[in-house]
Structure 1
Amino acid sequence: MGKKFVLSIDHGTTGSRVFCFDEKGKTLSSAYREFTQHFPKPGWVEHDAEEIWAGVKFLLQDAIDKADLDAKDAIAIGITNQRETVVLWEKTTGKPVHKAIVWQCRRTADICDELKKAGHENTIRAKTGLVIDAYFSGTKLAWLLDNVPSARTLADRGRLAAGTMDTWLLHKLTGEHKTDYTNASRTMLFNIEKRTWDDELLSILRVPASILPEALPSCSPFGITKNTGVLPDGIPVLAMAGDQQAALFGQLCTEPGQAKNTYGTGCFLLFHTGNQFLISRSGLLTTLAIDKKGGPAYALEGSVFIGGAVVQWLRDYMKFFASARETQQLVEDIDREEDELVFVPAFVGLGAPHWDMKARGAIFGITRDTSPARITRAALKSIALQSADLVKAMEADTGQSLPFLRVDGGAAANNYLMQFQADILNRRVERPANVDTTATGTAYLAGIGAGVWKDADELRSLLRDYSIFNPEMSEEKRSRELKLWQKGVERSKHWVD
């Protein structure tokens, strides 16, 4: 008998990964591939959904081969994804009618302004826990239906299907049209208290219910593989979760008061509130999360649009370095040299707690000795400073002071960034040995669905090895850093008329 394993598909904003996990939760192998970013206009971001599926097929085979496994021994599949990106496709052919519109895309900012002018903010906030922003999927769907030739007519005839990227990948794997609660909760169309698509919201955004997938708890039987061309038929997909909720579960933060921050393309801080549906007073979102058995729960969330993506920008567009790994040594060489440089990476506006779609990126305090190393340091600091804004808002909403922050994601591997995060928060930062907790979380959920593990309590024995970063910065320096940061943020706001 071959070695049993769980497959985890982790679809991100700039690339996809596939992981194989054994029945002890250990990573056996992983494979990664980037995909093309399309920028048809300033502030617009698109992906080719067919390119993404082709890449995932390749990665499935690659990951299985790397671990010398047999695909027929896969006992379950979990899917996790960057959440608000949306794709629209023909039901009969399975072909997208347009490129997928990415969560970062700001093309629907004017639609959002019209919704606000029409007085829909309170209704949407009360039912979805979200603010009106181009970040979410609902206005992207409305744009596709209104701007792709014949799309609205085809939708009204029941010939189109829509979904976030979990739904698209599930469709390609199984032929099913489903999503999970966590992804549905990010569309601005889903009532997170009743956990159903909301007729009033669908009417406001002019999105027909017929194009939307069935929504289920994150740990559910979503379908079985069929005609994939890479996997045998019959492997069950038993878990789907938005990336940040998957990471929250992967960190085993399943009880009220537990929180984590993920440092990926963006940064996302989630604070578990159990069964309490709490509306933020400080610019945070309320979202559906996952309890210890894989069922629905709630969380407060703060979203930073540009986190690790600022490093990618310095690498790809400014050519400051060849690899993100070089940034740690680059900034450590100048770490003790003071300056007043502030980098506000509002490339696609500001997310929580500011919610300013008209803000744009800016670098303040440039002098004649400003070097690529100094700009890189300011960029890394910006990731931690944006996250500190979220912690401050979360503590104000809950009335609780976080004793520590648990972290994950690719950029969390940067020791300089993690130490600065601990310093600027004046809180302990805990980083697990495996920072790929997004993929781990969905693998855990799939394993629970397959009966490998009972719940999160049983999984805690598997997650023990942490690196600890304790704050070392003086209060005077911390205050100076925060003051400069707030000045920079205020000056970057409302840049676009």
Structure 2
Amino acid sequence: TTSTRALAVDTNGNASITSVIRHKQYYPQPGWVEHDPLELVRNIESSLESVDNIAAVGIDNQGESCLAWHSDTLEPVSQVIVWQDNRTGETIERLERDGVGEEVMNRAGLPLDSYFSASKLAWIVNSIPEARRLLKKGKLKLGTTDAYFLDRLAGVFKTDITTASRTSLMNLETGQWDERLCELFGVPMSALPAIVPTTGLLGTVASRGKQVPITASVVDQQASLYGHGCRDVGDVKITFGTGAFALTVTGHKAIRAPDQGLLPTIGWQHAGDQAVYALDGGVYSAGSAIEWAHKLGLFEDYSTLNSFDQPAAIDRDLVFVPALSGLACPHWDRLASGLWIGLSQDTNRSSMMQSILEGIALRTAEVIRTMSSLTEVGHEISIDGGVSVNPYFCKFLSDCLGKSLAVKSFPEITAIGTAQLAGADVILVDRDETRIQRYTPSAVREDRVKKFSNAVAKSMHWRAAS
């Protein structure tokens, strides 16, 4: 979402980051988030040039972010509308009132939410005159960023099945675009790319004067799932970044639980094989809540958050609900709002930060507990990213879950998963047990879970109430 990175794996299995290029974030209106598609393409090209003698390339992408472009010139017709963007909130509310939510869930396995690509793509068609003009001429292409990258770099109009499963336009059972879903959202199916497996020969890209095969394309969280070594039913990973993203492997079966707020999705599909499904649950605000607190001046140095002198904030009746962008699984309430409850004259900055870490952990535990009610979840959960470097957070989360945590300290697990899918069978850092920190639970505190649930209930539908 914030940068383009290249990870190179040599023939001995040594992995190294060869390029990190940050790109600009655009916020043209409240609730809107955009990227410049040409900047993203330039950054990918620069990343490819940072490595010599490339044998194969894998590309992971930011999922639901999408755009439109001219089919002949490949010039973008829109900015990339980022997954965080909520400009189509009113459209989603209208579809809810029209009563199509259940049908969308049955076909796509996803709830009605502006997070997914479908309403964003419809917005482009309805709101950008050039897009409508090109559509009438049969010259419009619509897709997620992976499709644009493949078209610009390799001259092929394709999207992989994991990314397509995040659009709300793909039928989860058939793995193909669903005519009825496209009709409901108002997205012309003729403008969408072909859906292909995650691995295989997807095209070739120029690098240092030669054509290099692209052998994997995958959405970022599924790449992370693979990079964590999750292959068997019940394997779970959680990645902490801006938000928190949990995935568990469910095998060749899609588990549907719309009332629980968990989403069936495609984990990966190797060329010639059946698709492997996963169950997806997310927390919108994790690292972003900590960054928000930092901007407010609640702390200066991240190391001060590694331990606290006082007992858990929630045990002192101070609770923070990190609903700064609404609530995802299992609530799916975009109208929920961030909440502190239990503030008093004794509350200081340290206690507020302690409650923020606990709130992120408790929201994450809500997701995993919901998963556990539907499918097998292993005794150890693999986590990485952002707040996973914080010892207080990890121990508190382990206690909330009643499960051991394996914290992967090596960076770029998403890139490692992409490289593995692209054909890098052996990556040495992935096998280094000395770089895995483990936490074991002391005792599950149901009173904490109950107290947090009460606070979450108070945060829900707040914007509607106000």
Matches within 5 A, 1:260-299: 260-280=237-257, 281-290=259-268, 296-299=275-278
The answer to whether the aligner puts 1:218 opposite 2:185 as a matched pair is no
What are the Cα deviations for residues 239-269 of structure 1, in whole angstroms up to 9, with x where unaligned?
0111111111112211212111111222111
- Change over 3 Å in CA distance of 1:488–1:32 after alignment to 2: farther
Please, which runs of 5 or more residues in structure 2 have no aligned partner?
none
Equivalent residues of 1:225, 1:232 under 8 A apart:
no
> Residue 86 of structure 2 aligns to a residue in which SS?
coil
The answer to whether the aligner puts 1:31 opposite 2:19 as a matched pair is yes
Q: 1:485 aligns with which of 448, 452, 464?
A: 452
How far the C-alpha of 1:462 sits from its partner, in A, is 5.1
Q: 1:43 aligns with which of 18, 21, 31?
A: 31
- Change over 3 Å in CA distance of 1:312–1:166 after alignment to 2: farther
> What is the TM-score with the length of structure 2 in the denominator?
0.91
> Residue 119 of structure 1 aligns to a residue in which SS?
coil
> Residue 481 of structure 1 aligns to a residue in which SS?
helix
Greater mean alpha carbon deviation, residues 365-374 or residues 171-180: 365-374
Q: 1:468 aligns with which of 423, 438, 450?
A: 438
- Change over 3 Å in CA distance of 1:152–1:462 after alignment to 2: same
Instruction: Find the counterpart in structure 2 of residue 57 from structure 1.
Output: 45
Equivalent residues of 2:161, 2:269 under 8 A apart:
no
What are the Cα deviations for residues 171-206 of structure 1, in whole angstroms up to 9, with x where unaligned?
332232211000000000001211111111111111
The residue type equivalent to 1:312 in the other structure is E
Q: 1:172 aligns with which of 152, 164, 170?
A: 152
CA distance in 2 between counterparts of 1:217 and 1:410 reads 30
How far the C-alpha of 1:152 sits from its partner, in A, is 2.3
The answer to whether the aligner puts 1:330 opposite 2:310 as a matched pair is no
- Change over 3 Å in CA distance of 1:314–1:193 after alignment to 2: same
Q: 2:85 aligns with which of 105, 108, 118?
A: 105
Greater mean alpha carbon deviation, residues 102-111 or residues 189-198: 102-111
- Change over 3 Å in CA distance of 1:376–1:391 after alignment to 2: same
- Change over 3 Å in CA distance of 1:461–1:436 after alignment to 2: closer
The residue type equivalent to 1:370 in the other structure is T
The residue type equivalent to 1:470 in the other structure is T
Equivalent residues of 1:412, 1:435 under 8 A apart:
no
CA distance in 1 between counterparts of 2:319 and 2:67 reads 36
How far the C-alpha of 1:414 sits from its partner, in A, is 2.6
Instruction: Find the counterpart in structure 1 of residue 288 from structure 2.
Output: 309
Q: 1:346 aligns with which of 315, 323, 327?
A: 323
- Change over 3 Å in CA distance of 1:333–1:395 after alignment to 2: closer
What are the Cα deviations for residues 443-480 of structure 1, in whole angstroms up to 9, with x where unaligned?
00111xxxx54xxxx889953513211113x44xx334
Instruction: Find the counterpart in structure 2 of residue 234 from structure 1.
Output: 211
Greater mean alpha carbon deviation, residues 383-392 or residues 337-346: 337-346
How far the C-alpha of 1:107 sits from its partner, in A, is 1.6
The residue type equivalent to 2:455 in the other structure is G
Instruction: Find the counterpart in structure 2 of residue 422 from structure 1.
Output: 398
Matches within 5 A, 1:429-468: 429-447=405-423, 453=425, 463-465=431-433, 466-468=436-438
Equivalent residues of 1:349, 1:357 under 8 A apart:
yes
The residue type equivalent to 2:307 in the other structure is E
CA distance in 1 between counterparts of 2:337 and 2:29 reads 15
CA distance in 1 between counterparts of 2:34 and 2:353 reads 27
Instruction: Find the counterpart in structure 2 of residue 67 from structure 1.
Output: none
- Change over 3 Å in CA distance of 1:292–1:376 after alignment to 2: farther
> Residue 397 of structure 1 aligns to a residue in which SS?
coil
Instruction: Find the counterpart in structure 2 of residue 186 from structure 1.
Output: 166
CA distance in 1 between counterparts of 2:148 and 2:262 reads 28
Instruction: Find the counterpart in structure 2 of residue 374 from structure 1.
Output: 351
The residue type equivalent to 1:224 in the other structure is T
The answer to whether the aligner puts 1:88 opposite 2:68 as a matched pair is yes
Give the number of equivalent residue pairs. 458
The residue type equivalent to 2:431 in the other structure is L
> Residue 173 of structure 1 aligns to a residue in which SS?
helix
CA distance in 2 between counterparts of 1:371 and 1:347 reads 21
CA distance in 2 between counterparts of 1:459 and 1:22 reads 9
> Residue 261 of structure 1 aligns to a residue in which SS?
strand
* Superposition CA RMSD, Å: 2.4
> What is the TM-score with the length of structure 1 in the denominator?
0.86
Instruction: Find the counterpart in structure 2 of residue 413 from structure 1.
Output: 389
Equivalent residues of 2:200, 2:270 under 8 A apart:
no
Q: 1:394 aligns with which of 349, 371, 383?
A: 371
Q: 2:132 aligns with which of 137, 152, 155?
A: 152
Equivalent residues of 2:92, 2:112 under 8 A apart:
yes
Equivalent residues of 1:179, 1:214 under 8 A apart:
yes
